[in-house]
Chain A
Amino acid sequence: MSATRGLCMRTMMELDQSCSNLREYGSEQSLLSKPDGTSTFVQGDTSILAGVYGPAEVKVSKEIYDRATVEVLIQPKMGLPGVRERAREQCVRETCEAALLLTLHPRSSVTVVLQVVHDDGSLLSCCLNAACMALMDAGLPMSHLFCSVTCAISKEGQIITDPTARQEKESRALLTFAIDSAESSVLMSSTTGSFSVQELQQCIAISQKASEQIFQFYRDSVKRRYSKIK
C-alpha cells in the first residue's frame, strides 16, 4: 500500500473486481398516466418510483424570471418526510438543475416526486437514477444524462460498490457520486464517514467506470421502448 506501484495495481484489481459488483438493476418507463414522465429504478432490492411534472405552472413566489424552478419531493416508505429526506432532495435537485436546460422554460416549474418503495442500501443512487430516467421519459430538454454510484469502504479498507443496507451499516465510510454522461465528471458527491484522499480518488475512479455500464443500460432501455414505434 505504501509503494506507488502496489497502489496502482491494487486500484486496477479493484476496478476489475468492483465493476462487476453492481447489483442487478432494472428500470421501466411510462407506467403511470397522470404525470408527464414516470419511471421505476430497481437496484438489487432497493426500488424507487419517480414521477415528473413539467414544465407546469409555478407560484409567483417561487418563479424565477429566466429559468425553470426545480422542486424535488422524496417520500419515505413510512412516516412523513424529515430532515434526511430534505438533504437527499437537495442533492437530487442540484444534480437535476445541472443537467436540465432550464433556460428554455422560464417562469415554469419542474417537479420530481420520488417514492421509496423499498430501501436496501444505495438509496440516494437509486433516487438519482430513477429521476434521470423519469426526466428522459417526460421529454424535458437535457444537456447530458447523469447516473449515480455508491461506494462503501469497509473497516478493512475494501471498497464495495452498490452496497446493501447491511454492508452500509458495517462500513466506516459511504460515498455517493453523480456522474455525467458527456465527460464522466462528478456532478454531485455526498459522503459520510472517514476516509483518506487516496480512497476518495479510488472511489471516484471506480464510480466513473461503473457509470459506463449504467449509461449503456439507459441506452438499451430507451431503445427497447422505442422499438415498437419504428
Chain B
Amino acid sequence: MLFLNFYFENKSFSRFRKYTNTAHSRCFLAMDTIHACFKEKIGEVLLPGDVFSFRLPESGDGSIKTEKTICGPGLRRNGEEVQVCKSGILRHKQPNMYWIDSQQRRYVPAKGESVIGIVTAKSGDIFKVDVGGSEQASLSYLAFEGATKRNRPNVQVGDLVYGQFTIANKDMEPELVCIDSCGRANGMGVFGADGLLFKVSLGLVRRLLVPQSEIIKDLEKIFPFELVVGMNGRVWVKAKTVQQTLIVTNLLETCENMTSQQRQTLFKRVADGCL
C-alpha cells in the first residue's frame, strides 16, 4: 500500500518540486466541501498562515464519498486543516491536485528530478556532486552507461553531469544516477565541453521545461543553440560563437520578469539586430 502511494506521487510530480512530508493528503470528506474551499482561492496570492479548514457536513446522511486530494508544494496537512506554508499563487490541475506556485531561487532535492551537477571530488567508488542543495549528492561510478569495475567512466573534478535523483529526502544524503531503469544513458551523463553554465530561478526553469515552451520556441527563431536545463535552476547553453552564447544567456536571464508581450518584442529586436 505504501509503495503504491509513492508510485502515484512520482508520476504526478515528475515536473514539480516535492515536499516528502506533504505530497499526499487523503481527505475522507464530501467532495463539494474540499473543492469549494479551494476553488474560491485558485489563482489568488496566499501567504503562510492561511488555513483551509474542512468541516464534516452536519447531516450524517451517509453519502460521504472517500476522495483523494493531492496537496503539492507549499500546502501542508495539519489534522483536519490544510495550511499554506509558502507565499505564492494557488494553482489547480484537474481533477484534484492543488499546489502553491512560488518564485524561489534555492533548490531542494526531490526524487526523480533531473539536475545539472558539478563534480567536486572523487573518493573511492563515488563522486561528490554539487547540485545546489544543502548537501552534496553522491554519484556512484557504476551509474553510467557501460561502466563496469574495470571500465571506469572518464569523469574529472569540475565536469558537468546531467543526472536523476534516485534518493532525495530530508533525512538522507541525496544520490544521483546517470542511467535510467533500463541501464541506458538516455541523454544523461557528462557533457559540456564548451558552452556556458549559469543560474536562474526555479520558476523560469519550470517554464522552460513545459512541453511546448513559448520561450524556447521564440528563442529558436533567433539562431540555433544547444540547451540543457536542470531542475536545480542551472542552465547550460552552447551556440556557434561565444557572442551568440552570451546573447542567449542574457536573454534567458532577463525574460524572467517579463510578460510574454515584452519578451517577444525584445526577441524581435535582438533578431533584427543580429541579422
Contact = CB atoms under 8 A, between A and B. Distances in A.
Judge: A and B partners, yes or no: yes
Contacts of B88: 139, 226
B76 interface: yes
A149 B89 CA distance: 28
Nearest to A180: B49
Contacts of B146: none
A230 B43 contact: yes
Given A141-B85, A181-B49, A219-B45, A107 B106 contact: no
Interface in B41-92: 43, 45, 47-49, 51, 74, 76, 83, 85-89
B19 A104 contact: yes
Name the residue among B43, B48, B104, B259 with the largest chain A CB count within 10 angstroms: B48
Interface string B143-159: 00000000000000000
Nearest to A132: B48
B134 A108 contact: yes
B134 A107 contact: yes
A138 interface: yes
A222 interface: yes
A64 interface: no
Interface in B231-275: 257, 259
Contacts of B257: 228
Interface in A84-116: 99, 101, 104-109
Contacts of A78: none
B135 interface: yes
B170 A142 contact: no
A55 B47 contact: no
Contact of B47 (A30, A36, A145): A145
Interface residues of A, number: 36
A158 interface: no
Interface string A118-152: 00000000000000000010111111110000000
A226 B89 CA distance: 8
Interface of A: 30, 36-37, 54-58, 99, 101, 104-109, 136, 138-145, 180-182, 218-219, 222-223, 226, 228-230
Given A58-B134, A143-B83, A229-B103, 4 more contacts: A107-B135, A139-B102, A141-B48, A142-B86
27 contacts: A36-B105, A37-B105, A54-B134, A57-B135, A99-B48, A104-B21, A105-B108, A105-B170, A106-B171, A109-B134, A139-B102, A139-B105, A140-B86, A141-B85, A142-B49, A143-B48, A143-B49, A143-B83, A144-B49, A145-B47, A145-B49, A182-B51, A222-B45, A222-B87, A226-B45, A226-B103, A229-B203
Nearest 3 interchain pairs by C-beta: A139-B104, A108-B134, A144-B49
Interface of B: 19, 21, 43, 45, 47-49, 51, 74, 76, 83, 85-89, 101-106, 108, 133-135, 170-171, 203, 257, 259
